Amino acid sequence: MKLKLGTRTSQLAMAQSKLVRDALLKVHPDIEIEFVGVKTHGDKNQKVPLWQLDVVGAFSKEIDEQVLNGTVDFAVHSLKDLGTERPKGLTTAAIPMRENSRDAILFAPHILDKLANDEEIIIGTSAPRRMELIPAFLKEALPQLGSKPPQIKTIPTRGTVNTRLSRVRQSPGTDKAVDGAALAFAGLSRLLADDESRNEATDLLSGLRWMVMPVTVCPGAPGQGAMCVEAHEDNTAVLEILKAIHDPVTAQQIDIERAVLLEHGGGCHQKFGVLTLALPTLNNPITIIQGKTEDGKDVSDLRWEASDLPQPMWDGRQWNDKIFEFNTLPAALPETSAVFAASARAVPDNLSKDTRLWVSGTSSWKKLAAKGYWVEGCADGFGFEFIKPTLQDPVLDLPNLSDWAILTHEAALSTWNVGQPVATYRLIENMQDDALQNLKNAKTIYWSSFSQFQSLHQHAPPDAIHTCGPGKTAELIGKAQPGQLRVLLF
């Protein structure tokens, strides 16, 4: 059986379509798939920002027509490019498992010089969402090398991924030059994985500095990282074939994301991002929303199922400095180009500024940026396992995880089963009376670390509710207090 697959003609669209083809052939090795390239309105007009294009379905209309008239049997789209209302007669045949939903910014090699000289940093992007979310974050997340915080300006950029990356490589001051380009991580990953686009993508990425945006601050567009396979609703034979690559978990999460978009009218002109994800220590998915609507209303929210907790709450994040003293330890770091820091205080002053540095959350990121460190990304406070798939993606060209240095405190060394853990500081208990007294009177306790729990849990009231954030802390306390821990998000 021979099927025709409709797709845009860009390298990225072709790479995505090959992934769908290969997945189908694994399940149906007897079929043959022919690509039919289609130039869409959005491909032909790359000067006008997407939200200003006077057309519905800038990247899908022409392909939709070919599916509806039977010229092609099915089509593959980047799901985030599809509107919330689709033409009558089309149906979603499959949504394969989503890949990385994050945004990334690729910076030019001269970026450190511009930061040191207090020069304005120009970021290329045409997405209103990125224009809204990225500048405020970069102001604190870029290394503070000058006499004032970095000044960020976004300018509209259109074109293929390769076109936008080429603008980062142009000499500063030229007409098309930008200091950084904001792109979807999944697109970059797919280009590098594709045999036909790999060499060009590798050349374009060479020498650029990565910064992978945290999903809690800069979530992607609804459906970002996912593909949508569509067919005619009457083409039952093709629909039966395509359902083999459908991932219901991804589809359910994207339904939630697109429902949030519909709450506010839909459209690519909205200035907010949304991501629904599952965490192993939470029973139900969480939905992260950051940004504003087109008319400027802030819709930032964190949606998840949580019960009201009795008060007063003892919040370990607020009491930590009254529980422990932090003693720096002399530490010999392994010879490695990559480091994960469990906290900002775990990073020694002598760590090379050339180290590819990843951290536990945005708070540590900003503290280290204030010291002049370039941080590539973080685990969003969700634990190392959450960021591990990103660190292992070949597009980042990072070392194997076994070769990473994991910087942490002395008592936590045994809790790490990845990389080469290094103790760079020691926690010394120095309990102050007000911290202990408040703990003894608490009805709910939020442990900010497993070390805190180990030191103090015996002082907790027997009927107190124990809580903590997701990640390694939840894993370890959960083992120590089976069935008695609630995981919270703040």
Separate counts of helices (H) and strands (E) for the chain? 16, 23
How many angstroms separate the Cα of 256 from the Cα of each of 251, 306, 487? 9, 18, 22
Show the tokens assigned to 444.
Answer: 């709910």
Beta bridge partners of 426: 327
Strands 338-341 and 405-409: parallel
Between CA 478 and CA 486 the distance in angstroms is 9
| Cross-strand partners of 34 | 4
Burial (CB < 10 A; 0-12, 13-18, 19+), residue 45, is middle
Q: How much of the chain exceeds pLDDT 90, in percent?
A: 86
Which tokens is 28 given? Answer: 């149906």
pLDDT in tens, 353-408: 999 999 999 999 999 999 999 999 999 999 999 999 999 999 999 999 999 999 99
* E strand residue ranges, 313-412: 313-315, 324-328, 338-341, 356-359, 375-378, 405-409
Domains of the chain: 2-96+224-247 (3.40.190.10), 103-212 (3.40.190), 313-319+431-487 (no CATH), 324-429 (3.40.50.10090)
pLDDT recorded at residue 446: 97
Residues 6+ apart with CB under 8 A from 143: 112, 115, 353, 369, 371, 372, 373, 374
Of 53, 77, 51, the residue nearest 63 (C-alpha): 77
Contacts of 451 (CB under 8 A, 6+ apart): 324, 409, 411, 412, 427
Alpha helices in 210-315 (DSSP H): 236-242, 248-263
Q: Look at residue 83 in the predicted model and tell me its pLDDT.
A: 87
Q: If you count them, how many residues does the chain have?
A: 490
Q: In the structure, what pLDDT confidence band is assigned to residue 50 with cuts at 50, 70 and 90?
A: low
Tokens, residue 55: 């057309």
- Asked if 348 contacts 425 with a C-beta cutoff of 8 angstroms, the reply is no
Residue 483 pLDDT level (bands cut at 50, 70, 90): confident
Please indicate whether residue 172 or residue 57 has the higher confidence score (pLDDT). Answer: 172
**pLDDT tens digits along 141-183:** 999 999 999 999 999 998 899 999 999 999 888 888 999 999 9
Write the pLDDT tens digit of every residue in 311-359.
Answer: 999 999 999 999 999 999 998 888 899 999 999 999 999 899 999 999 9
3-class SS string, 174-229: CCCCCCEEEEEHHHHHHHHHCCCCHHHHHHHHCCCEEEECCCCCCCCCCCCCCEEE
